[in-house]
Structure 1
């Protein structure tokens, strides 16, 4: 009995009942318009003549009108907002935003017609049945009521109602609650297929998630390359300064200056990336990102000897996007060498022709394989991703006792469209 009472009058059932009555209220203007159409065909009876033919005829006219009005795109978010609150259906099963496709609009129209149609019937019952039930339950206790016009209106002059009025009235109220609960459950069952996302909505949501993931991955690469390189360079400079602290104060001063410049530059880049994360959006550009024009400063702060060989044209005179990604690739190569090759020298060759920019970095392999970091590094994978996004290639492998990082990037018009 307790479970049955909860199903008929529990919080969820009451909310759904309110939802149905709201549907009846939404149907009312359409129903009034329908009576203007139907009433002239019934000897000109007015709107409130009580003629069931007029009332149900107006109901039949109102439903198509409601369906047509729900074809507007904004009908779906309005219906979803109400159903999400009152139907007891998980919020993630509803679609977000206006209905853009005709399939979504037709589904919304179907939902609105079902909501207003069933809601109109339940709302009408909710207005008529409680007075009827109260009259039934009061009949055994009032002879005057049994002789009144109210009893005559309800056709309640049967003598047996004197003894069965209370049970009949309670049964009528219980039936109303059962009908409302059943209608509410029907709407809750139909809400996901009618107000849920269409295949087009799912495709848009998937594209949005893919775009968000791409932005997060790009920001993660920026943080990895910038902060990772800075920490490696600072570690090398600090270690070298500690070694010659007493014997070469001038070198220590230079190392501390390099550490200061590296950290200041990295903090600026970190602020830019974190600013984008705080805004929750990305316009395709990361302000303050350095390119190959800052290559000399990068090599000077590397904390190790780096020999640079440039062939062909000026490597800085490539498309801006290529210059920025090339800088990051060199930065990751220096970071990787700092982690795995100790103080060994690094050679960097940059060759540019009309179509490509080729980067080759080499450093001696360590005597012992480096200890893998927990979770593994993602820097070389990020190098490959950067090159592929530009339409180029990149890879790293041991060759003749050295570790070689190679990248080929488009330096012509193709790279200019990448941001």
Structure 2
């Protein structure tokens, strides 16, 4: 089908036409009362299109009017399920919220007046174009002076069929292009206000931050559990000692249980479950991480100074995840090696340092810059601190500093 005929096959073309005509209903109702619609003069037509304006402006001052107009515009002016063309659905870009400011009310008033005037113009133009087409075919029974046409073309009957068809095509063109212009106007006048756009942007940002936080939670918790399980299984197979194997299975069980608790908590958040969600682990619970690492064969040397249990909640929870990822990184890339953990807390900040020997080149380690270490740096940045990771004096270091205020 030629491109210029395709709009005529879409239902949205005709819903737009109906939407434009509906905007003039109030004018015709008022005009029927005064000055009347029988043989109106030019002054009468001016009254018909001007008298309703104050009423529409007053209606626009009601906040709910903007919502009603937005819903109607979204339904009738933009392709949706009624478009009958696959892939034609569009984001209307029209707000469904009530007026929140005088600027919104003013834009709504302009929209209502635009609907009124364009609806009246569409009704009059449609009557003239289709009336002229019928007159050319000789289908009008009224006397020429009573048919309401503003201009006449000599000749009528079937010989004037090509000219009559031209007026019909002109009407179809008016329907198509006036509908498109009305949709553009709706986006400008009923589109989100700057405050609504900012609120939508903030909501989207919050959603992205929450998704990233959940991804980090799952990565750190599940990644730690799987790493411990892999290391323990390999060590148990190499040792071939029933007692060691039993201890390894206990460590895997304990780590897996903690990971399942973390997973259940995250899933409850995603489901927005009404059941209370258990608290996230904090640095006060770090002993279970250290026990898990020791059970995997790592020799962990710990030194803690300062009141860790008095740390602010966000700092303590994120610090736990950073320590978890640092220990997971040690087990994954270096295996059961000596680990030195130093945590120092004062009135202004917490400093956490995790160090372990670098694996020998023969170990085949190709990189240490995975998403886990990047997650540590991201967590520190979000809390206003900083984290550095990398080789330092023959060892691998994870150094974190977080402010407490």
In which range does the TM-score fall when normalised by the shorter chain?
Answer: 0.7 to 0.9
1 CA distance for matches of 2:5 and 2:389?
A: 70
- Alignment match, 2:284: 293
- Alignment match, 1:178: 173
Which structure 2 segments of 5+ residues have no match?
Answer: 80-88
- Alignment match, 2:399: 406
Contact persistence 1:363–1:402 (CA under 8 A): yes
**Are residues 209 and 197 of structure 1, via their aligned partners in 2, closer, same or farther at CA, if it must alter by over 3 Å?**
same
Q: Deviations over 1:112-165 (max 9, x none)?
A: 3323321232234546764664455245xxxxx8xx655663289999446766
Deviation at 1:407, TM superposition (A): 2.0
3-state SS in 2 of match to 1:363: strand
**Are residues 356 and 176 of structure 1, via their aligned partners in 2, closer, same or farther at CA, if it must alter by over 3 Å?**
closer
| Aligned with residue 335 of structure 1, among 328, 346, 353 | 328
**Are residues 91 and 254 of structure 1, via their aligned partners in 2, closer, same or farther at CA, if it must alter by over 3 Å?**
same
1 CA distance for matches of 2:125 and 2:18?
A: 10
**Are residues 151 and 400 of structure 1, via their aligned partners in 2, closer, same or farther at CA, if it must alter by over 3 Å?**
closer
1 CA distance for matches of 2:29 and 2:145?
A: 28
- Alignment match, 1:22: 19
Structure 1 stretch 126-135 or stretch 266-275: which is displaced more?
126-135
- Alignment match, 1:120: 120
2 CA distance for matches of 1:158 and 1:311?
A: 100
Contact persistence 2:358–2:396 (CA under 8 A): yes
Contact persistence 1:20–1:118 (CA under 8 A): no
- Alignment match, 2:59: 69
TM-score (norm 2): 0.81
**Are residues 270 and 177 of structure 1, via their aligned partners in 2, closer, same or farther at CA, if it must alter by over 3 Å?**
same
Report whether the alignment pairs 1:59 with 2:62: no
Contact persistence 1:291–1:327 (CA under 8 A): yes
Deviation at 1:383, TM superposition (A): 1.7
**Are residues 373 and 363 of structure 1, via their aligned partners in 2, closer, same or farther at CA, if it must alter by over 3 Å?**
closer
Deviation at 1:255, TM superposition (A): 0.9
1 CA distance for matches of 2:29 and 2:371?
A: 67
**Are residues 355 and 383 of structure 1, via their aligned partners in 2, closer, same or farther at CA, if it must alter by over 3 Å?**
same
Contact persistence 2:359–2:365 (CA under 8 A): no
- Alignment match, 1:32: 29
1 CA distance for matches of 2:364 and 2:300?
A: 21
**Are residues 155 and 235 of structure 1, via their aligned partners in 2, closer, same or farther at CA, if it must alter by over 3 Å?**
closer
- Alignment match, 2:202: 207
- Misfit runs of 4+, over 6 Å: 155-159
Deviation at 1:296, TM superposition (A): 1.5
Contact persistence 1:63–1:117 (CA under 8 A): no
Q: RMSD between aligned alpha carbons?
A: 3.5
1 CA distance for matches of 2:266 and 2:367?
A: 25
| Aligned with residue 193 of structure 1, among 166, 170, 188 | 188
**Are residues 63 and 370 of structure 1, via their aligned partners in 2, closer, same or farther at CA, if it must alter by over 3 Å?**
farther
Contact persistence 2:133–2:167 (CA under 8 A): yes
- Alignment match, 1:396: 389
2 CA distance for matches of 1:16 and 1:68?
A: 30
2 CA distance for matches of 1:399 and 1:149?
A: 100
- Alignment match, 1:42: none
Report whether the alignment pairs 1:94 with 2:99: no
**Are residues 150 and 357 of structure 1, via their aligned partners in 2, closer, same or farther at CA, if it must alter by over 3 Å?**
same
Contact persistence 2:377–2:386 (CA under 8 A): yes
- Alignment match, 2:106: 106
Report whether the alignment pairs 1:216 with 2:217: no
| Aligned with residue 353 of structure 1, among 346, 353, 356 | 346
- Alignment match, 2:356: 363
TM-score (norm 1): 0.78
Structure 1 stretch 295-304 or stretch 84-93: which is displaced more?
84-93
Deviation at 1:87, TM superposition (A): 3.6
1 CA distance for matches of 2:137 and 2:354?
A: 95
- Alignment match, 1:417: none
Contact persistence 2:27–2:116 (CA under 8 A): no
Contact persistence 1:21–1:120 (CA under 8 A): no
Deviation at 1:341, TM superposition (A): 1.8
2 CA distance for matches of 1:219 and 1:163?
A: 74
**Are residues 117 and 199 of structure 1, via their aligned partners in 2, closer, same or farther at CA, if it must alter by over 3 Å?**
same
| Aligned with residue 249 of structure 1, among 239, 242, 246 | 242
Q: Deviations over 1:5-44 (max 9, x none)?
A: 556xx124x63343233333243235534666xx3xxxxx
Which structure 1 segments of 5+ residues have no match?
Answer: 40-44, 140-144, 415-419
Aligned length: 386
3-state SS in 2 of match to 1:58: helix
2 CA distance for matches of 1:316 and 1:162?
A: 97
Structure 1 stretch 116-125 or stretch 226-235: which is displaced more?
116-125
